[in-house]
Amino acid sequence: MIEHLPALMIAVPLFGAFTTPLLKKNYKAAAVWATLITAVTLGMSLLLVREVLIREIMVYVFGADKPTLVLPSGYRVPIRIIFEVDAMGALMALSATLMSFIGALYSYSHVRNETGLEKYYALLLLLEVGILGMVLTGDLFNLFVFLEIAGIAGSALVGFRNYRGEASEAGIKYLIVSSVASLMVLFSIGLLYGEYGNLNIAYLSTQIGFNTVDIIALGILFTSFAMKCGSVPTHHWVPDAYTEVPSGINPTLLVATYASLYALFRVSFSLFGKVSSEMSSVGWIMCVLGVLTMFIGVTMALVQKDVKRLMSYHAISQTGYMLLGVGVGLAVLNDPAKLAAFGRDAMAGGIFHIINHIIYKSLLLMTAGALFYVTGTRNLNEMGGLARKMPYTTVAFIVGAAAISGIPPFNGFASKFLIYETAYQLNPLLAIFAMVTSVLTLASFVKVFASAFLGPPVKEYENVREVPRSMVIAMIILAVLCILFGLFPNVVLDKLVYPAVDALLNLSGYQTWGGVL
Amino acid sequence: MNWLESLTLKSPAGFWNPLLWLLFLIIFAIIGYIIYSRGNKGYKPNTEQVKPFISGNAVEDIEQIRVRASDIYWGFIEALKGYYTILMRMHTGDMRDYVLWYLGVGAIILFILVGGV
């Protein structure tokens, strides 16, 4: 049973996605069914994490006599679709399943007045399938297929409130951006397939050189995944999509964005890991994009008056920290002394920031959704004095805002602490930009807090009340995680993050499918 | 104390222990409370004393005087007007521009990787 976990992680939510439309006549049943499916998938991902931490790499070969039979007798190259799950993939799978569950829970009340909810939940589960496929697969073409699934499901969800023109526009934009990125990914996969005749990432990484065709493939893959993860200056789709998507989908869409970041790391460290000496320049490109992303993202956020748009720009800004952290590690990948001195910690900071950001940004976007739920507007100019009416949402917002601003002892601080210190060792200017960005982030959230929650009460909202219980529970779970991850960062780092970093650095383990040969 | 050390996050140049930080926070909060409790006891709630005083002028309707989100940091935004003009020009909302940015960035990255820089 355990050996089939990687396949079941896809099969269960896929089964849920195809059965949810059968509950068309009862939206509550559809919501409960989807929540149940996400809860089961979350349980399986916890088991998967446990297994991967024991075995280091889990392999699943589709259609083989045994799930671990990578090379049937007589074959010198893998021919079947192979899932290869290491600690990095397992960490992302855990994030995806946790956020899908939280999103489904939050959606129960948040979208209950919408129509077509069976499609909503089916798409949520399909989005989860897309993300899980991307982070579990060890096959390049399979990665493209799941990237497409996530892109199509995501764009349908962005445009879900199609009675709003802006939502339809954002959905179409997301679809076009996803299609352009996916097509270019497919093109570069075609280049590599034409050259090496195989699609398995582990096998390709043993063969790859750094000739012109490889470089072109790398450049296209890098740019496409950078656009899909919202890196500046290809970030424009993010505010549109995050603002218009229902807040219950925001957590899963956020993980979908970081699944592309995962793909970027997988390409850089695993697929092209063999040519680490050439990857230093890629690391520097990542660092520069990271700094640009964090600074432009935060300065754009500062001038927004739409609360979700403001938070969307912050999502862009925080992606910069992840790019910077992992970029520092990639820049010193070919220098063992620097990698041991600060590169590994930089990568840990970047990857820890992915989890932290997924948690607190989901929380913040949910609080924005709660504000929209009670006021019917996202315009901060029209809000005020809501802290008295919405105490749980206010506390959740304070925790999320403190975490994103890097205020101790919340989770954002721990990862930023690692990024500041390690980036400083590569180049002090990088750390200065990162710290200035944090200050501006705090300033921006002070603005949201002052204008939405503080100040005199607004007459229109005299009778508003706290949001329904399922929304409060979802927000409280995330707020508690922000506090726990901040108070005990070492536990998360030792159990999840450093194994993920080491998995990315352990190229020989990945190339031999965890030693199953 | 092994358990305390196990909760200490060690970085290349220092360390971070959130529990120690909390302990110091509590100590400083107590010190702050002691200073606060030694303050002026002349405060009388629900009297004229607690009403806002704006140089003797009548106080406007409370909703009229609230600071709206667009007004916060106007000085900062005004000072960086040139920077924001460029940023706004970048964010056209036009899908064709999104694809152009993608092509531009892709071209620059390929140029760097192929050996142009």
DSSP string, B4-33: HHHT-EE-SS-EE-HHHHHHHHHHHHHHHH
Residues A104 and A20: their CA atoms lie apart, in Å, by: 13
Distance from CA of B40 to the nearest CA of A (A): 27
Q: How confident is the model at residue A517 (pLDDT cuts 50, 70, 90)?
A: low
Of A236, A408, A447, which has the smallest distance from its Cβ to B98's Cβ? A236
Q: Is residue B109 part of a domain?
A: yes
Cβ contact B69–A488 (<8 Å): no
Nearest Cβ partner of A381 from B13, B70, B106? B70
Please indicate whether, in this complex, the C-beta atoms of A223 and B9 are within 8 angstroms of each other: no
How far is the C-alpha of A422 from the C-alpha of A431, rounded, in Å?
A: 8
**pLDDT tens column, A3-59:** 999 999 999 999 999 999 999 888 899 999 999 999 999 999 999 999 999 988 999
Q: Which helix (H) or strand (E) holds A84?
A: strand A82-85
Say if B59 falls within a structural domain. no
Write the burial class of residue A144 (CB in 10 Å: 0-12 exposed, 13-18 middle, 19+ buried): buried
Q: Where are the domains of chain A?
A: 2-515
CB spacing of B83 vs A341 below 8 angstroms: no
Residues of chain B positioned with their CB less than 8 A from the CB of A281: 112-113
Are A321 and A353 in contact, with CB atoms under 8 Å apart? yes
Residue A360 in this model has a pLDDT that exceeds 90: yes
Quick one: pLDDT at residue B117?
A: 54
Express each pLDDT in A493-506 by its tens digit: 999 999 999 999 99
Partner residue opposite A281 with nearest CB, options B67, B97, B112: B112
Residue A213: closest C-alpha in chain B: B114
Asked whether residue B97 is domain-assigned, the answer is yes
Angle between helices A117-136 and A250-266 in degrees, nearest 10: 20
pLDDT at A237 over 70: yes
| Closest to A328 measured CA to CA, from A370, A280, A363, A361 | A280
Contact list in A for residue B16 (CB cut-off 8 A) is 408, 413-414, 417, 489
How many CB pairs (< 8 A) connect A and B? 141
Burial A62-78 (b: 16+ CB within 10 A, else e): eebeebbbbbeeeeeeb
Q: Report helix, strand or coil for A60.
A: strand
**ipTM of the modeled complex:** 0.90
B18–A487 CB contact, under 8 Å: yes
The answer to the question of residue B116 being in a domain is yes
- In angstroms, the CA A259 to CA A131 distance is 6
Single pTM value for the model: 0.92
pLDDT of A345 above 60: yes
How far lies A263's CA from each of A132, A258, A349, in Å? Answer: 12, 8, 18
**Cβ atoms within 10 A of the Cβ of A308, count?**
22
A-contacting residues of B 45-104, CB under 8 Å?
Answer: 62-63, 65-70, 72-73, 76-77, 80, 83-84, 87, 90-91, 93, 95, 97-99, 101-102, 104
- Residues paired with B15 in a beta bridge: B10
DSSP state letter for A497: I
- State the average pLDDT over residues A121-138: 96
Give a yes or no: residue B63 inside a domain.
no
Q: Which of A231, A192, A199, A232 is nearest to A215 (CA)?
A: A192
Answer yes or no: is pLDDT of B50 > 90: no
Q: Is the pLDDT of residue B60 over 80?
A: no
* Cα gap A149→A299, rounded to integer Å: 33
- Give mean pLDDT, residues A274-302: 91
Q: Which of A172, A267, A303 to mutate to test the interface with B (most CBs of B within 10 A)?
A: A303
Angle at A10 between CA A8 and CA A11, to 5 degrees: 60
Residue B107, domain member (yes or no) = yes
Number of structural domains, chain B? Answer: 1
Q: Which two tokens stand for residue A320?
A: 């910069």
Which of A177, A235, A236, A237 would you mutate first to test chain B, the one with the most B CBs within 10 A? A236
pLDDT in tens, A184-215: 999 999 999 999 999 999 999 999 988 899 99
The total number of residues shown for chain A amounts to: 517
Instruction: Note whether residue B85 is domain-resident.
Output: no
How far, rounded to the nearest angstrom, does the alpha carbon of residue A317 sit from its chain's CA centroid?
Answer: 14
| CA pair distance A337, A303, nearest whole angstrom | 43
- Structural domain boundaries enclosing B105: 93-117
- Which residues of chain B have a CB within 8 Å of the CB of A491? 7
B115 pLDDT above the threshold of 90: no
Question: How buried is residue A239: exposed, middle or buried, by Cβ count under 10 Å (0-12/13-18/19+)?
Answer: buried
Whether the Cβ atoms of residue A343 and residue A329 lie closer than 8 Å to each other:
yes
